[in-house]
Amino acid sequence: MKYELLKTEGRAKRGRFHTVHGVIETPVFMNVGTVAAIKGAVSTDDLREIKCQVELSNTYHLHVRTGDKLIKELGGLHKFMNWDRPILTDSGGFQVFSLAGIRKIKEEGVTFNSHIDGRKIFMGPEESMQIQSNLGSTIAMAFDECPPALAERKYVEDSVARTTRWLYRCKEEMARLNSLEKTINKEQLLFGINQGAVFNDIRIEHAKIISELDLPGYAVGGLAVGESHEQMYDVLDHVVPYLPQNKPTYLMGVGTPANILEAVDRGVDFFDCVYPSRNGRHGHVYTNHGKLNLFNQKFEKDMRPIEEGCGCPTCRSYSRAYVRHLLKAKEMLGMRLCVLHNLYFYNTMMEEIRDALDAGEFAAYKKRKLDSMAQGQD
Ligand code: PRF
Ligand code: ZN
């Protein structure tokens, strides 16, 4: 048994996922290191300090620069970045569509131009699985198409049908790769991805089909791509009940602390998002009383830490005034300290969520946290 469902409260799940790289306590936030580095000069030693359980990297980025073959030759991604805990790699499906100069989508896969040097590259389910196998990640995501939020019904139907066919090919290819002598992680796990934009009936149909493949986990993709928060919650209300409750459910690329609380309430257990690192690089920091913009003049003489009582490396040692000074002086340390605090804030919130679920008090915790964060700034 890979996933243990420890406790439920309404639809919310408290679980534990066992992998060859250690246990993941869920709900969990995965810290995004697109190119095998968390932006903002955050090292893997830092990740250990800020309660990160899972690091997330991208197939597409590592394929176009440095290259998965070289990383395999050097012993795989875990060894390369000195991180021995779980790593999830995204399949490239989404990044190809959002970043690269696309493209032709065909049954076999996608042709696109690299955003680094413009070179023409082909990626389909087999290529994506091969790259992720070379990287040796703990969890590999299926190769999917993420249709735009506003795509028409007919387009979404055809796209989802193709994503399903691609999933069968991913499963077969991963089984083949995992059985090869020289494979770095022979126990690599494949997560399927549910798509269907905001059409609940298409999503439900798709969820039923992919659930039959008995994969170790399932993601809900294609959200947070331009639809409203209410639409996103509505999709989760409808589709999560059709994904296996005894497997992890991963909401890709989401989101704000409030989005995460709402999604946990709807049965999601894995998350990832660039917000904490991206906001940190812009001097925007999270607190339990709302977000602060440290560039604001009012912090010029503020000798308090970003958040009173926060145990992160930043708040343990530095004041708002000092971090503001670093940001204004464009010193890299300013960004780094903000990113460390933000990731610690996210990882700590997940810990609080798990504790609240353990105690059967998630509903009360969620309300308190949302109310307090909405209070605004201090
Ligand atoms: N598919 C994949 N990765 C993703 C997404 C998706 O739909 C999203 C959508 N929010 C983020 N990352 N493969
Ligand atoms: Zn802090």
d(CA 33, CA 87): 10
Is the CB of residue 90 below 6 angstroms from any atom belonging to ligand 1? Answer: yes
Please work out whether the CB of residue 225 comes within 6 Å of at least one atom of ligand 1: yes
Predicted local confidence at residue 378, as pLDDT: 44
Q: For position 100, what pLDDT does the model report?
A: 63
Residues pairing with 193 in the sheet? 219
Give the C-alpha separation, 25 to 47, whole Å. Answer: 16
| ipTM of the prediction greater than 0.90, yes or no | yes
Query: What is the fold, at CATH topology level, of the domain defined by 2-272?
Result: TIM Barrel (3.20.20)
Query: Residue range 259-278: average pLDDT?
Result: 98
Ligand 1 pocket, mutate which of 61, 94, 274 (most atoms under 8 A from CB): 94
Query: Which pLDDT score is estimated for 98?
Result: 74
292 or 94, which is more confident: 292
Mean pLDDT of 216-242: 97
Residue-level pLDDT at 114:
85
| pLDDT score at 35 | 80
pTM over cut 0.80:
yes
To which residue do tokens 């980025």 refer?
A: 61
Q: How far is the CA of 37 from the centre of ligand 2 (A)?
A: 21
Q: Taking residues 236-260, what's their average pLDDT?
A: 98
C-alpha 95: how far from chain center: 13
How far apart, in whole angstroms, are the C-alpha atoms of residue 85 and residue 54?
7
Q: Is 33 in the pocket of ligand 1 (CB under 6 A)?
A: no
- For the chain, the structural domain boundaries read 2-272, 280-375
Average pLDDT over residues 207-233: 97
Q: Which ligand is closest to the CA of 128, given by its number? A: 1
- What is the per-residue pLDDT for 101? 66
State the Cα–Cα distance between residues 91 and 104, nearest whole angstrom: 17
Distance (angstroms) between ligand 2 centre and the Cα of 44 equals 18
pLDDT at 96 over 90: no
